[in-house]
Amino acid sequence: MDLLYANDTQGAYPQSWYAATTEPLAPYPVLTGSERADICVIGAGYTGLSAALHLAQAGRRVVLLEAQRVGFGASGRNGGQLGSGQRVDQEELETMVGLDQARALWTLGEEAKDLVKGLIADHKIACHLKPGVAWTASSPAEVQHLHDYAGLLQSRYNYDQVEPLSAEGCHALCPSPDYKGGILDMGAAHLHPLAFALGLARAAEAAGVTICEQSRVIALEYGAKVRIRTEEGDVTADHAILACNGYLSGLAPSVTARVMPINNFIVATEPLGARTKEVLTRDVAVADSRFVVNYFRLSHDGRLLFGGGESYGYRFPKDIAAVVRKPMEMVFPHLKNVRVEYAWGGTLGITMKRFPYLARVAPNVLSASGYSGHGVGTATHAGQLMARAIEGEDSGFKTMQCIPTPAFPGGGALRTPLLVLAMTWYALRDRLGV
């Protein structure tokens, strides 16, 4: 079995609060024998589910192959934050590609948010979608930076849904002694990520997609027709889509060189009852401005869902709850005695520039991954952009390629140790406050 699944039980969701609170889907069959498809999509997270759904809606015959279960990867485990724009902020994008392209990327980011909200409405996906994400900071300089950023979004991008939070305003929203101010973006949102993924699967199935679970692709044969092989079957297709994100291993070496798997962790506390007010006074999500971001929100049953801590090898830490408790208690020292009832990890794909990597790896094989922690909207949207590109309209796909994605230094063998060094340095800077 692939090392990337070393922390998991084959065919089973991790024991997350998400899995415990989602109506499961009946298992889809394993691929056996030979199938023919217009498009074969590999990986059933947001990227693959959205691509498959949009292609089926365009009348194409689609087979979707998933190594484990639908939404088993990052899409069923994440922080649920649907952020505005791109993972890289607009100021940095302007420096990288100039104002016009930065504006085009902002527009695509807004389309991504609207797409998620639209899919949830159109397919009646019950996934607790709520408006509002706050960005908080721990030093006056960082608070000023966030306030300036809100001003830039208003003046240059005409975005009026973000407001500055003073120290008092921030504290009234989130009574953490760690935060000194921030911004509140009511155009951003948060949701139950696994329920969203399973809702997309239901919609894709209803649109005619053939979904196969526990059907890991072990080989791709490129050519005028693509042949996709699993242990027990194969699909011959006109096009293939790689939607494996952090879990892609050997299928496309040019993607593996540019998209690195890293792990991130979340805990769910016991229900807090009246103490929810000690975390948040409004039902919005929060992310802070640390390099290893702490992010949290309240669940619909009144728990604190707190994400924090990263690791860069294949194995998750033995005691995930202990790892996440550290940043949780730094942000909320008053929650020291609160019990943690669920703790889980997930693997996501990051790129050197923290901008997603959309690539045409062969004339008839597309790939999208490396959302770098900003995939709820961007991955769902990338699936739609790939579907459109196959239908002959690839302007959005191409715009997302305007930032070149370099390979990680060190190639397959050295990239992880080098990344560990770099990340440890930045995490240390967080702790030292420099």
| Interactions with ligand FAD, residue window 34-93 (CB under 6 A) | 42-48, 65-68, 72-75, 77-81, 83
| x/- map, 283-302, ligand FAD, by CB under 6 A | ------------x-------
Name the residue nearer to ligand FAD (CB basis): 99 or 219: 219
User: Shortest distance, CB of residue 192 to ligand FAD, whole angstroms?
Assistant: 12
| Interactions with ligand FAD, residue window 204-233 (CB under 6 A) | 216-217
Name the residue nearer to ligand FAD (CB basis): 78 or 136: 78
Burial of 430 (0-12, 13-18, 19+ CB in 10 A): middle
What distances in angstroms separate CA 271 from CA 265, 287, 297, 303, 359, one per listed residue?
Answer: 19, 21, 13, 4, 43
Name the residue nearer to ligand FAD (CB basis): 297 or 388: 297
- According to the binding rule CB under 6 A, does residue 371 interact with ligand FAD? yes
| Interactions with ligand FAD, residue window 126-185 (CB under 6 A) | none
User: Shortest distance, CB of residue 5 to ligand FAD, whole angstroms?
Assistant: 7
- According to the binding rule CB under 6 A, does residue 311 interact with ligand FAD? no
Contact criterion met (CB below 8 Å) for 200 and 49: yes
User: Shortest distance, CB of residue 25 to ligand FAD, whole angstroms?
Assistant: 13
Region near ligand FAD per CB under 6 A, out of 138-146, 170-178, 241-249, 410-418: 241-249
Contact criterion met (CB below 8 Å) for 181 and 33: no
In degrees, rounded to 5, the angle at the alpha carbon of residue 69 between the alpha carbons of residues 64 and 71 is 85
Binding-site member from 369, 389, 400, 405 for ligand FAD (CB under 6 A) = 369
Structure tokens at 370: 């490396």
- Amino acid identity, residue 324? V
| x/- map, 345-364, ligand FAD, by CB under 6 A | -xxx----------------
- 218's enclosing H/E stretch is strand 217-221
The whole-angstrom separation of Cα 425 and Cα 87 is 21
Number of residues that bind ligand FAD (CB under 6 A): 44
**Torsion angles phi and psi, residue 333, rounded to 5:** -60, -25
Which of 386, 387, 357, 392 lies closest to 371, judged by CA? Answer: 357
Residues 6+ apart with CB under 8 A from 403: 93, 96, 97, 353, 355
Residue nearest to ligand FAD (CB): 375
| Radius of gyration of the chain, Cα coordinates, nearest whole angstrom | 21
- 256's enclosing H/E stretch is helix 253-256
What distances in angstroms separate CA 353 from CA 123, 358, 368, 406, one per listed residue?
Answer: 34, 13, 15, 8
User: Shortest distance, CB of residue 103 to ligand FAD, whole angstroms?
Assistant: 21
User: Shortest distance, CB of residue 128 to ligand FAD, whole angstroms?
Assistant: 14
- According to the binding rule CB under 6 A, does residue 264 interact with ligand FAD? yes
Binding-site member from 241, 243, 324, 389 for ligand FAD (CB under 6 A) = 243
Can you give the binding site for ligand FAD, defined by CB under 6 A?
A: 42-48, 65-68, 72-75, 77-81, 83, 216-217, 243-248, 251, 264, 266, 295, 307, 346-348, 369, 371, 373-376, 379
